[in-house]
Structure 1
Amino acid sequence: MNSRTPPLGDTTGLWQAVLAAAAGRCQCRGTCGKTHAKDGGRCPVVHGGYARHGAGPVSLLAAPAEPDGLLLPAHRAAALPKRELAAWCPACHDATRRTAAKAQQAASPAVEPDALFTL
């Protein structure tokens, strides 16, 4: 059950190329916080397959391969070449994006709000 029906916006075949390079499997290697140790260090989720019991079929995403790239604005992420993209299952994508956002927030210096009045 490995249906490769592309998303409506895939007019250039980029999504299909990313999925073909990934062999239809999520390319997360633990950036989501899971080790994926039982599956050789790579997420076992396959496009069109089931991530867990009771859930519907999973549709993989083509998104930036690097965690920091997941924080790019949509228009910049959409302009990335195929070599900078990876196939992600929604669970790994979301967890990696949250982790990258937290790391970015922790690394940025705290900005003090402008004071209306000086004391």
Structure 2
Amino acid sequence: MTGRTPPLGDTGGLWRAVLAAAAGRCQCRGTCGKSHAKDRGRCPALHGGYGHRHGTGPIRLAAAPAEPADLTLPPHRAAALPKTSLAAWCPACLDATTRAARAAHLDAAPSAEPDALF
């Protein structure tokens, strides 16, 4: 997968549509925990570009839910989202945002402990 060659699972062109809407750039606006202040609030990662660390290799953007809360959806529900609900994510931003969304989801879940023993 080089340049704009789609991943194997992109049979319907969904990934290409999401990447085209994002102009080939990660759409993270700080949900990963970084401010991206040097780049006007948006992640600078470009599909096919290289990371800022030596040996990172080419960046491959993924199409994933745009809303951080939707990143905790089961795979079959996330796959059913329309393309307007998807965004292009670089691996670093996607991983950090998913971790934060899962932590927030676990914190918001009610505890399974009973109120009283009897």
TM-score using structure 2 length: 0.91
Residues 2-52 of structure 1 show CA distances to partners (whole Å, capped at 9, x for unaligned) of 810000010000000000000000000000000000000000000001122
1:75 matched residue in structure 2: 76
Number of the residue aligned with 1:34:
34
In structure 2, the residue matched to 1:63 is 64
- How far off is 1:69 after superposition? 0.7
Highest CA radius of gyration, 1 or 2? Answer: 1
The AA in structure 2 aligned to 1:82 is K
Secondary structure of the structure 2 residue equivalent to 1:87 = strand
Give the Cα separation in 1 of the matches to 2:93 and 2:55: 18
- How far did residue 85 of structure 1 move? 0.2
* Corresponding position: 1:107 with 2:101: no
How many residue pairs get matched? 114
List gaps (5 residues or longer) in structure 2. Answer: none
Q: Cα RMSD over matched residues?
A: 1.5
Deviation of 1:106 (Å): 0.9
Structure 1: gaps spanning 5 or more residues = none
